[in-house]
Structure 1
């Protein structure tokens, strides 16, 4: 095998495992050996059957002048990218995030860190949910920034936040994970709501037939005697 090809394959293996050979690096203990995310990390809506649990992360090797960190997770196989997780104002003394730190309530994040809106819509982590039959690549990037805090509302459009992060970045570490679609199992799919059937009306008693009126006796009519015509004598 040519030496250049061997070096390229070694570097690629290092990136897949989430460890850079030098400089800043980012890794996750929750990745499989081949760099695949597990079902719990997948999105839990829109037909995807994950638990939307963000993977644990750790990083290091940042520039000594770094003052804070920002994290961006993108789907590389969607045109113009799709942001699954954005966190900024991570204190410079923090070098890891536990699994589940991307919950919407932000309780798993270090003090001061802020989550922005993902491209699904809500704040926090939004796990992989590629189209059926596809496997997508997800780029996890940690940025070392030259500012302690970014003065930006978490409700700002994700693109504006990403531009601000890039404008203050000193260094970055990244890894690329992949994920197929984890469909919701049929037995766990929410069945359609059944509308309650209309209760049949209680049987109403049939109305009693009106009593037949008694026929009144017809009074006897006395026969009128027939009057015979009397012929008058001629005059």
Structure 2
């Protein structure tokens, strides 16, 4: 086979593989033109002033044998990743999620879909809240799976559930969104709870014990010990050595 033809066939095979891998897609109408998430999608606690609304999503182009979908959203700029949203058992006929579908009650999800614990701790969507002055990248990935439903416990650690998804994935589509920190306005930020001041305990100058303000109880008198009369010893008897035999 001529070398030029072999190179052409190799390139064609590579393009075909790339097209097959990029066949599935995922997008969101809630992203800005530069791919940035808006304030409503940000976390609403810990000093961040968003509304914690998951963005609307839509996808397609999955492998024809796909039986269900799973969605994972991860912060790519945290070591080992930080999972913000995990949804499983999305029926194969569903190709979109409305804005706010990631609420903890799960009412916006299609029937049968299950949300698992994210790395914040609760179930449902947890919006971006990077450290002050930083912008992080958030990877939204939809997986086409070879099973109708995954046999899982939604209270399992997020990493174990992600491994289960990857073991059944046929295809995937993804996009990367950026988000800065959206700080809560000072007048709306919840101040930290103030703990009541602890009143120092007063001590008496000599005792070194805390003064409760009440008179100290008198010590009980020591029990009277009766003197035992001394017993006089009898006269000392000297031992007499016997004469040798």
Q: Do the aligned residues in 2 keep the contact of 1:70 with 1:86 (CA within 8 Å)?
A: yes
Alpha carbon RMSD of aligned pairs, Å? Answer: 13.2
Query: Structure 1 residues 211-220 or 34-43, which shifts more?
Result: 211-220
Q: Deviations over 1:114-143 (max 9, x none)?
A: 000000000000000000000000000000
Q: Do the aligned residues in 2 keep the contact of 1:102 with 1:109 (CA within 8 Å)?
A: yes
Q: Deviations over 1:75-123 (max 9, x none)?
A: 0000000000000000000000000000000000000000000000000
**How many residue pairs end up in the alignment?**
235
Q: Runs ≥4 in structure 1, deviation > 2 angstroms?
A: 1-22, 190-235
Work out which of the two has the higher radius of gyration on C-alpha atoms and give 1 or 2: 1
Query: Structure 1 residues 103-112 or 195-204, which shifts more?
Result: 195-204
* Structure 2 gaps, min length 5: 198-207
Q: Deviations over 1:168-221 (max 9, x none)?
A: 000000000000000111111124567999999999999999999999999999
Label 1:174 to 1:232 Cα distance change in 2 as closer, same or farther (>3 A).
Answer: closer
The equivalent residue for 2:154 is: 154
Label 1:2 to 1:26 Cα distance change in 2 as closer, same or farther (>3 A).
Answer: farther
Q: Do the aligned residues in 2 keep the contact of 1:104 with 1:124 (CA within 8 Å)?
A: yes
Q: Do the aligned residues in 2 keep the contact of 1:73 with 1:141 (CA within 8 Å)?
A: yes
SS of equivalent residue, structure 1 residue 137: strand
SS of equivalent residue, structure 2 residue 20: coil
Q: Deviations over 1:9-54 (max 9, x none)?
A: 9999999999999500000000000000000000011111100000
Task: Map 1:19-168 onto structure 2 (within 5 A).
Answer: 22-168=22-168
Aligned counterparts of 2:156 and 2:229: Cα–Cα separation in 1: 104
Question: TM-score of the superposition, structure 2-length normalised?
Answer: 0.71
Query: Structure 1 residues 182-191 or 88-97, which shifts more?
Result: 182-191
Query: Structure 1 residues 201-210 or 213-222, which shifts more?
Result: 213-222
Label 1:18 to 1:119 Cα distance change in 2 as closer, same or farther (>3 A).
Answer: farther
* Structure 1 gaps, min length 5: none
